[in-house]
Structure 1
Amino acid sequence: MFLNYHHAKVTSVCCTLFLFLLLMSGCSPEKTLRGILKKQTPYERYLSRLKDAKLDQTAMGQQWISAGERALQTPATITLPFKETGYFPAAEPKATSYQFTVKRGQKVAVRVQSQGKEAPQLFVDLFEANASDPAKPNHVANADTTGSGFDYEIEEELPHILRVQPELLRSGQYTVTIETMPVLAFPVQGRDSRAIQSFWGADRDAGARRHEGIDIFAPRRTPVVASVDGTVTRVNTTPIGGKVVWLSDNKRRQSLYYAHLDSQLVQPGQRVQVGDTLGLLGNTGNARTTPPHLHFGIYRFGQGAVDPYPYVHQDRAKPSELQVDERHFGNWTRVARSNVTLRQAPSTSATALGTLPQHAPVKVLAGSGNWFKVELPDGQLGYVSGSLVEPLDKPLQTVRLRQQTPLLDASDSLAATKLTLPVDTTVRVLARYQDHLLVKNPAGETGWVANAALQ
């Protein structure tokens, strides 16, 4: 697919759409009932409908299935928070995917929006890396754009992959936003993680032990609150912790430890909700020589102490807003300079996948901040700086063909011929890739010709 869709391909798409609507509306009650009784994700339900309608045996259906499978194997490795806007073309099945790692104690918030005259339904699926079979990640959460997304609490610090794929034969723009949030409320009223001054693992007692928690500083008698709905299990006084409160978090199989309180305002067995006051902040116990603060700890059942910081830290960074030209989405552009780095993610620190020569063609799929997500003619995906690409409206040169030449639909000598260009046809060269040129003939048809045709 290039700047102008070939008439035959558009006709084929229209025919496929007609068949799709006809068959999907004709699914039998038995098949519909089977789909309802079997618990499936929106993606799986849609795939089942394709199979019931025999569309998985068509070229378009097979391309849609392959696009979803390929996306799981070739995600962009990103850092959070992240935001990307892109375009899904109706006539070319696509899916996009992102890989990231989030610490235990955080939840990932995924939001997806779609726009268009008839905006496509988007299937949004989250997978967790499978150490025993990397080719088959484990599905852990899902949504479609009948909802706006989902929040998912991370259970293991493993790579996660988010896949976004539209339904067949609907075009539209999408925006995906991925952020992180703590799973617990901050334990000191009116404060956030900026009030933490002593962190997990710091030396204690001249290095004899390690700090099993975080210290949150605030004025004396600031309310200390429940970070989770739970039950108070202990209210007592110890030489090290001073006045302490223990709160159960049965949902996550852990206990929360509040120490150095000036006073305790709850009793053992009392049920509390997030934000309820457990006590007032102080410096009792072995904190008598320090300013008032809360020692906050988390002890997982059967595991012991864990770092509480990810559980209460709210990242204040916001994902970069789109700064590139959306008019390029779905179109071929070309690299404006020589040796442009193609990166694995939209960042100058991301892994370099290679360098692109000047005038190499790249199809713009999406944008994130001031980066374009692009596809090369051979299908490779990556990101390039938005300032380093240019549109194809100005040809590089105009040449006359010295021989009868096939106009190909891809930069491959085995690609299908769209039409045959006669000898002496004048073509405008739009971009160069390896041993092929992207050209436009006088009739406005765009395609590829071999370099040898100009010699």
Structure 2
Amino acid sequence: MRGSTLSFRLRWLFLVLVAGQVIFSGCSPQNTLKGVFKKQSPYEKYQSSLKDAKLDQTALGQQWLTAGQQALRQPVTVSLPFKETGYFPADKPLAAGYQFTVKKGQKVAVRVQTQGKEVPQVFLNLFEADPENPAQPRQVAYADTTAQSLEYEIDEELPHLLRLQPELLRSGQYTVTIETMPILAFPVKGKDSRAVQSFWGQDRDAGARRHEGIDIFAPRNTPVVAAVEGVVSRVNTTPIGGKVVWLSDTKRQQSLYYAHLDSQLVQPGQRVSIGDTLGLLGNTGNAITTAPHLHFGIYQFGRGAVDPYPYVHQDRTKPADLKVDEKKLGDWARVAKAKVALRSAPASSAQALLTLPQHAPLQVLAGSATWYRVMLPDGQQGYIAASMVEALDRPLQAVKLRREAPLLDASTELAATQKNLPPDTTVRVLAKQEAFWLVKDTEGTTGWIPVEAAR
């Protein structure tokens, strides 16, 4: 029971107006001048085209703008890696918002795949929360119109918001995948973060100092490689570090420190690329009594040492595969059992937002692993276990109307009337909430009726 398709004529007219406005505004001197001072994202360009064509004053245009704002105000909180498959209907503008936190030293990678008869253009925008102004997150990255993916290196460990929104009047299914990855290559050839055996902050010299790095263990003379493109700034020998190499990463305003080398194979001022050999692993300096390993550190300009582990750690966890019925995506459904929790995230440990009664109506927006992301008739979203959701193919009961009743297109007294049903009309009840029931009449039209009309 996905949303009814709008008339071809209306859709054609709306799309022509938007496309024409984009072309016209893109060629105007005013917009050319604006572009000199501020580069707009595809979302912002599309939003401007709606306003320039005064389509933002239409009901559909206003719904589209509101959906984008609501996705940022009320995102769902997810843990990474995360994968979700959902459906965007053509007749009801929707947007998806996801909130997550990524460690400094990592980058977030987002991919979106779409499918459908008329695959929509999907706008992908990433925002960083502003602690001083939570209502106005700062846009930090976006995908261009030719690629449905983006990568962004995290500057601060603040909540980040991802908004996913299709263009108007296009329906389609989408799958969004959000993962993290290190911003640096691993500094020991043939190894990964599983070879780290000593971590940041551990005591050294009986507690006199703290470990300002990580120790990566490997056989002696294993190549130690450049984790980033940069310039070798120093090659020397010290009592603690033994044979060391310093590599300057000017892009990120930091220096990488390689210590306890058995031999150094570069010179100061030498430019290197990722993977170039800097030296061979050993145990020189104060590591002479330990097994061969690389002490790897990161020192940020003006800030000092930071934990290098997130910068080189690759999370090998894969997002869970979808294990729900995709046929329900975009459809209205109902709660299968009594006292079912609507949760803030797709996990049984997530906060319970509400307790839903049996047969309560909900619209299935997306699926993640064994959970559905749903929207209640009042617009609230959350996650519910897929096993607690049932389709509307079997009516709950058939009732005769006691009086004439409007068949509404939403469960509110302000909703539009699709038709008026005369007294004694038999309707099949599909789902129930306190004041309105979702029903289907004898002609197959689905809508909402006031409860008192059926009692």
Q: TM-score, normalised by structure 2?
A: 0.95
Structure 1 Cα separation of the partners of residues 380 and 75 of structure 2:
12
CA distance in 2, matches of 1:4, 1:95: 15
Partner of 1:18: 13
- Secondary structure of 1:252's match? coil
2:364 counterpart of 1:364: yes
- Higher alpha-carbon deviation: 414-423 or 68-77: 414-423
Structure 2: distance between partners of 1:238 and 1:342: 59
> Contact 1:241–1:285 at 8 Å: present in 2 too?
yes
For the residues of structure 1 that align with 2:24 and 2:237, how far apart are their CA atoms?
66
* Structure 2 CA distance for partners of 1:249 and 1:420, relative to 1, 3 Å: same
Deviation of 1:359 after TM superposition, in Å, equals: 0.8
Question: Residue 268 of structure 2 aligns to which amino acid in structure 1?
Answer: P
Q: What's the offset of the Cα at 1:199?
A: 0.5
Shift of 1:413: 2.9
CA–CA separation in structure 2 for the residues paired with 1:271 and 1:23 = 50
2:25–2:49 contact (8 Å) kept in structure 1 = no
CA distance in 2, matches of 1:125, 1:18: 27
Secondary structure of 2:119 counterpart: coil
CA drift at 1:25: 2.4
Q: Percent of counterpart pairs with the same letter? A: 67
**Alignment map for 1:283-302 (pairs within 5 Å):** 283-302=283-302
Shift of 1:31: 5.4
Code of the aligned partner of 1:394: R
The reply to whether residue 432 of structure 1 matches residue 432 of structure 2 is yes
Q: Quote the residue 2:219 is aligned against.
A: 219
Partner of 2:60 in structure 1?
Answer: 60
- Counterpart residue identity of residue 10, structure 2: C
Measured after TM superposition, the shift of residue 30 of structure 1 is 6.0
Residue 50 of structure 1: how far off its partner (Å): 1.2
Query: Aligned AA for 1:230?
Result: G
How far apart are 1:126 and its partner, in Å?
A: 0.4
2:46 alignment partner, SS class? helix
Residues 186-233 of structure 1: CA distance to partner in whole angstroms, max 9, x if unpaired? 000000000001100111111111110000001111111110111111
Deviation at 1:414, TM superposition (A): 3.3
CA contact (8 A) 1:219 1:292 kept: yes
SS at structure 2 position matched to 1:69 = helix
The count of aligned residue pairs is 450
Cα distance in structure 2, aligned partners of 1:188 and 1:23: 53
The one-letter code sitting in structure 2 at the alignment partner of 1:314 is Q
Q: 1:434 to 1:14 in 2, by over 3 A?
A: farther
Map 1:378-389 → 2, pairs under 5 A: 378-389=378-389
Q: Distance in 1 between matches of 2:21 and 2:346?
A: 44
Contact 1:346 1:384 in 2 (8 A): yes
Change in CA separation of 1:145 and 1:393 when aligned onto 2, cut-off 3 Å = farther
> Which deviates the most, 358-367 or 13-22?
13-22
Instruction: Give me the whole-angstrom Cα distance separating, in 2, the residues matched to 1:224 and 1:4.
Output: 58
Deviation string, structure 1 residues 32-70 (Cα, Å, up to 9, x no partner):
334455121101111121122221111111111111111
**1:419 pairs with 2:419:** yes
Report the CA distance between 1:26 and its aligned residue: 6.1
Listed one character per residue, the Cα deviations across residues 117-168 of structure 1 (whole Å, up to 9, x for unaligned) are 1100000000011122111110110014521311111111111100011001
CA distance 1:414–1:56, shift in 2 (3 Å):
closer
What corresponds to 1:128 in structure 2? 128
Contact 2:3-2:89 at 8 Å conserved across structures: no
Q: Show the 5 A alignment for 1:19-418.
A: 19-22=14-17, 24-25=19-20, 29=24, 32-33=27-28, 34-37=30-33, 38=35, 39-144=39-144, 146-418=146-418
8 Å contact kept, 1:394–1:430: yes
State the alpha-carbon separation in 1 of the partners of residues 193 and 18 from structure 2. 56
- Deviation of 1:4 (Å): 6.2
Q: Unpaired runs of 5+ in structure 2? A: none
Q: 1:22 to 1:255 in 2, by over 3 A?
A: closer
Alignment of 1:446 onto 2:446: yes
- Distance across 1 between alignment mates of 2:18 and 2:96: 27
Give the conservation status (yes or no) of the 8 Å contact 2:41–2:144: no
Q: In 2, are the aligned partners of 1:85 and 1:368 still within 8 Å (CA)?
A: yes
Alpha-carbon distance in 2 for matches of 1:226, 1:302: 22
Q: Which amino acid aligns with 1:24?
A: A
* Alpha-carbon contact 1:323-1:370 (below 8 Å) kept: yes
Question: Distance between the aligned counterparts of 2:32 and 2:176, measured in 1?
Answer: 29
Deviations along 1:284-343, whole A, 9 cap, x unmatched?
111111111111000001111000000000000011111111111111011111111111
Instruction: Give yes or no for contact 1:340–1:355 (8 Å, CA) kept in 2.
Output: yes
2:251 match: secondary structure: helix
Provide structure 1 residue ranges, at least 5 long, that are not aligned to the other structure.
Answer: none
**What is the distance in 2 between the residues matched to 1:203 and 1:172?**
55
Whichever residue aligns with residue 413 of structure 1, its letter is E
Which TM-score applies when normalising by structure 1? 0.95
Find the residue that maps to 2:399 and give its secondary structure. strand
Name the SS for the 2:68 alignment partner. Answer: helix
SS in 2 for 1:221: coil
Q: 1:222 to 1:26 in 2, by over 3 A?
A: closer
Q: CA–CA distance in 1 between the matches of 2:2 and 2:227?
A: 55
SS of the residue 2:243 aligns to? strand
Are the equivalent residues in 2 in contact too, given 1:27–1:53 (CA < 8 A)? Answer: no
CA separation of 1:257/1:432 partners in 2, compared to 1, >3 Å: closer, same or farther?
A: same
* C-alpha displacement of 1:404: 1.6
DSSP-derived class of the 2:124 partner:
strand
Q: Please give the secondary structure, in 1, of the residue aligned with 2:143.
A: strand
Aligned 8 A contact 2:95 2:164 in 1: yes
| Backbone CA RMSD of aligned residues | 1.6
- In structure 1, how many angstroms separate the alpha carbons of the residues matched to 2:22 and 2:239? 71
**Once structures 1 and 2 are overlaid, which stretch shifts more, 380-389 or 33-42?**
33-42
